[in-house]
């Protein structure tokens, strides 16, 4: 066997941090606030629809573009929430989660050496997909201001453009910071995209998990942007069905077709009975979506308050599943990776070091991410452990 079995494109990637930390959780019996998956089931109507579909024999390959009724439901959803008009026959494709849509977009649109503007920190699959496409990520840093609100310098986006730039890869609401890009920020990105004729691929999987007064603005709704934007989302976060991996990509036919060309050779299709069930979810009344975010906001507040009680400077997210702490009050060397590797043993809790979301890990070395998409008693138990481990030593180190 050759020594270099692994493609050089994936050199340096290793096993994902989520696998490593979840394995540690199992080994140690620690409470897992690392990976972002809910620990309760989603709406009964959605679960029942999947069971009914299996019983009704929806167990073979679905159509290549995805179940026709799900594609219609996705188009209805985009009209209902954002006023976006899509032709479900040509402008919507169902994928194996948002992850496959992202891979399809990168592999289907990029050539070796193409440059892609990305915002760091970023969801971990982005860098791997870009590497597989042999494309070059050009990062723009998201950093918190004095109030802990993450933002970027619009000049950095303009400066990131070269004659090799093809695409901007955006994620709003954002993992891991919980940032919701404002309309003004999206306008600034859109202006650069239009001026330089760039494609925007936008990952909006947390679109329904937006707290307080923040508003999710899809890039495709901005003037002049629909025609150059591929929007990606999925049902996992919205319906507590992350294991079903039903996602979708939508936008102008040319972009959807390019991404589909690669997607069809990845999985071809997936999740036949989960597709009609996800259509049921997308058609649930507003009350479902409102309750989903209201419940999650309570969990967010419980976790954020608890992390602060344990003495950590804590960033409360505007959206998504994740709160971030600065560990330096407990670990002055700021080594988040070491902190997370020892936390299951020292405190019985699992979290994820935020540095893995950065191209330049030094920017996030002192930050650690906790998921709040858990039952309140699970959050309380984790907080109790953290307070017991860190609270006394670091009380008073403040909140942000
Ligand atoms: C920003 C972001 N995009 C995509 C995904 C993956 O979505 P899916 O499970 O639908 O593939 C996640 C999951 O955590 C995520 O945080």
Residues 72 and 23 both lie in one domain: no
Residues 98 and 132 both lie in one domain: yes
Ligand 1 centroid distance, CA of 245 (Å): 9
pLDDT tens-digit map of 108-118: 999 999 999 99
Evaluated on CA atoms 97, 103, 106, 107, the torsion sign reads: negative
Mean pLDDT of 33-60: 96
Residues 214 and 310 both lie in one domain: no
Domain-terminating residue out of 269, 284, 299: 284
Mean pLDDT of 124-136: 96
Q: Which of the listed residues 119, 122, 205 should we mutate to test ligand 1's pocket, taking the one with most ligand atoms within 8 A of CB?
A: 205
Structure tokens at 373: 């998409």
- Establish if 354 belongs to a structural domain: yes
Q: Which of the listed residues 16, 22, 97 should we mutate to test ligand 1's pocket, taking the one with most ligand atoms within 8 A of CB?
A: 97
CATH code: domain of residue 294: 3.90.1150.10
Domain-terminating residue out of 284, 313, 343: 284
Evaluated on CA atoms 63, 67, 69, 73, the torsion sign reads: negative
CB of 35 sitting under 6 A from ligand 1: no
Residues 224 and 128 both lie in one domain: yes
Mean pLDDT of 373-395: 88
* Residue 292 parent element (H or E): helix 286-309
Ligand 1 centroid distance, CA of 113 (Å): 25
pLDDT tens-digit map of 162-181: 999 999 999 999 999 999 99
CB of 247 sitting under 6 A from ligand 1: yes
Burial of 59 (0-12, 13-18, 19+ CB in 10 A): exposed
Q: Which of 198, 225, 262, 232 is nearest to 78 (CA)?
A: 232
The torsion defined by the Cα of 146, 149, 153 and 154, in degrees rounded to 10, comes to: -150
CB of 97 sitting under 6 A from ligand 1: yes
Structure tokens at 90: 């040509």
Mean pLDDT of 151-168: 98
CATH code: domain of residue 262: 3.40.640.10
CA gap 317, 305 in Å, rounded: 12
Beta-carbon count within 10 A of 393 CB: 11
Q: Is the pLDDT of residue 379 over 60?
A: yes
Mean pLDDT of 294-317: 97
Percent residues over pLDDT 70 in the chain: 98
In the three-class reduction of DSSP (H, G, I as helix; E, B as strand; rest coil), residue 251 is classed as coil
Domain-terminating residue out of 258, 284, 310: 284
Q: Is the pLDDT of residue 397 over 80?
A: no
Ligand 1 centroid distance, CA of 145 (Å): 26
At 326, the pLDDT band (50, 70, 90 cuts) reads very high
For residue 316, the 8-state DSSP code is P
Measured by CA distance, the residue closest to atom 7 of ligand 1 is: 98
CA gap 379, 386 in Å, rounded: 10
Task: Give the strand pairing for 115-120 and 136-141.
Answer: parallel
- Establish if 300 belongs to a structural domain: yes
Angle at 100 between CA 98 and CA 103, to 5 degrees: 110
Q: Which of the listed residues 95, 176, 203 should we mutate to test ligand 1's pocket, taking the one with most ligand atoms within 8 A of CB?
A: 203
What mean pLDDT is reported for the chain?
A: 95
- Establish if 208 belongs to a structural domain: yes
**Residue-number span of the structural domain to which 172 is assigned:** 45-284
CB of 238 sitting under 6 A from ligand 1: no
Residues 69 and 159 both lie in one domain: yes
Q: Which atom of ligand 1 is nearest to the CA of 234?
A: 10
Q: Which atom of ligand 1 is nearest to the CA of 96?
A: 11
Measured by CA distance, the residue closest to atom 14 of ligand 1 is: 36
Q: Is the pLDDT of residue 346 over 80?
A: yes
At 4, the pLDDT band (50, 70, 90 cuts) reads confident
User: Against a cut of 0.85, is the pTM above it?
Assistant: yes
Residues 88 and 211 both lie in one domain: yes
Residues 220 and 84 both lie in one domain: yes
- Establish if 163 belongs to a structural domain: yes
CB of 205 sitting under 6 A from ligand 1: yes
Q: Is the pLDDT of residue 398 over 70?
A: no
Mean pLDDT of 142-164: 94
Q: What pLDDT does residue 400 have?
A: 38
Residues 244 and 306 both lie in one domain: no
Ligand 1 centroid distance, CA of 242 (Å): 9
Contacts of 228 (CB under 8 A, 6+ apart): 193, 194, 197, 198, 199, 200, 252, 255
Q: What pLDDT does residue 392 have?
A: 60
Q: How many domains does the chain have?
A: 2
CB of 299 sitting under 6 A from ligand 1: no
Q: Is the pLDDT of residue 265 over 80?
A: yes
- Establish if 256 belongs to a structural domain: yes
Residues 130 and 178 both lie in one domain: yes
Residues 223 and 328 both lie in one domain: no
For residue 319, the 8-state DSSP code is B
CB of 171 sitting under 6 A from ligand 1: yes
CB of 203 sitting under 6 A from ligand 1: yes
Residues 124 and 169 both lie in one domain: yes
Residues 96 and 120 both lie in one domain: yes
Q: HEC profile for 171-216?
A: ECCCCCCCCCCCHHHHHHHHHHHHHCCCEEEEECCCCCCECCCCCC
- Establish if 2 belongs to a structural domain: no
- Establish if 244 belongs to a structural domain: yes
Q: Which atom of ligand 1 is nearest to the CA of 203?
A: 3
For tokens 């299709």, the residue is 269
Ligand 1 centroid distance, CA of 98 (Å): 6
- Establish if 257 belongs to a structural domain: yes
CB of 98 sitting under 6 A from ligand 1: yes
Beta-carbon count within 10 A of 154 CB: 16
Strands annotated E in the chain: 31-32, 92-96, 115-120, 136-141, 143-144, 150-151, 165-171, 199-203, 229-234, 246-250, 313-315, 322-326, 349-350, 352-353, 367-371
């Amino acid at each position: 066997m050759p020594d270099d079995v692994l493609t050089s494109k994936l050199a340096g990637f290793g096993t994902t941090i989520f696998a490593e930390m979840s394995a540690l959780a199992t080994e140690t019996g620690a409470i897992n606030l690392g990976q972002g998956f809910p620990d309760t089931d989603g709406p009964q109507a959605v679960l029942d629809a999947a069971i009914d579909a299996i019983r009704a024999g929806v167990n073979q390959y679905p159509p290549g573009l995805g179940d026709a009724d799900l594609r219609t439901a996705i188009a209805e959803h985009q009209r209902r929430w954002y006023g976006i008009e899509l032709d479900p026959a040509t402008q919507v494709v169902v994928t194996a989660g948002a992850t496959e849509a992202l891979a399809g977009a990168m592999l289907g649109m990029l050539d070796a050496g193409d440059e892609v503007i990305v915002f760091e920190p970023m969801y971990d699959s982005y860098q791997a997909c870009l590497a597989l496409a042999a494309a070059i990520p050009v990062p723009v840093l998201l950093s918190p201001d004095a109030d802990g609100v993450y933002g970027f310098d619009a000049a950095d986006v303009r400066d990131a453009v070269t004659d090799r730039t093809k695409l901007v890869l955006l994620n709003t609401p954002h993992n891991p910071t919980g940032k919701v890009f404002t309309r003004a920020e999206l306008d600034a990105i859109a202006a650069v995209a239009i001026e330089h004729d760039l494609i925007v691929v936008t990952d909006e999987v947390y679109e329904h998990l937006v707290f307080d007064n923040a508003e999710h603005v899809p890039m495709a709704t901005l003037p002049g942007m629909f025609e150059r934007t591929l929007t990606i989302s999925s049902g996992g976060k919205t319906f507590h069905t992350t294991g079903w991996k039903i996602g979708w990509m939508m936008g102008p036919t040319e972009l959807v077709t390019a991404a589909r060309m690669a997607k069809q050779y990845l999985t071809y299709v997936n999740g036949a009975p989960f597709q009609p069930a996800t259509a049921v979810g997308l058609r649930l009344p507003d009350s479902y979506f409102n309750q989903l975010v209201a419940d999650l906001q309570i969990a967010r507040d419980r976790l954020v308050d608890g992390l602060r009680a344990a003495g950590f400077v804590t960033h409360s997210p505007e959206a998504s599943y994740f709160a971030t702490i600065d560990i330096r009050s407990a670990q002055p060397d700021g080594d988040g990776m070491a902190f997370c590797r020892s936390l299951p043993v020292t405190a019985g809790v699992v979290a994820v070091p935020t540095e893995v979301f950065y191209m330049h890990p030094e920017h996030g070395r002192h930050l650690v991410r906790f998921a709040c998409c858990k039952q309140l008693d699970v959050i309380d138990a984790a907080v109790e452990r953290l307070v017991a481990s860190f609270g006394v030593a670091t009380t008073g180190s403040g909140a942000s």
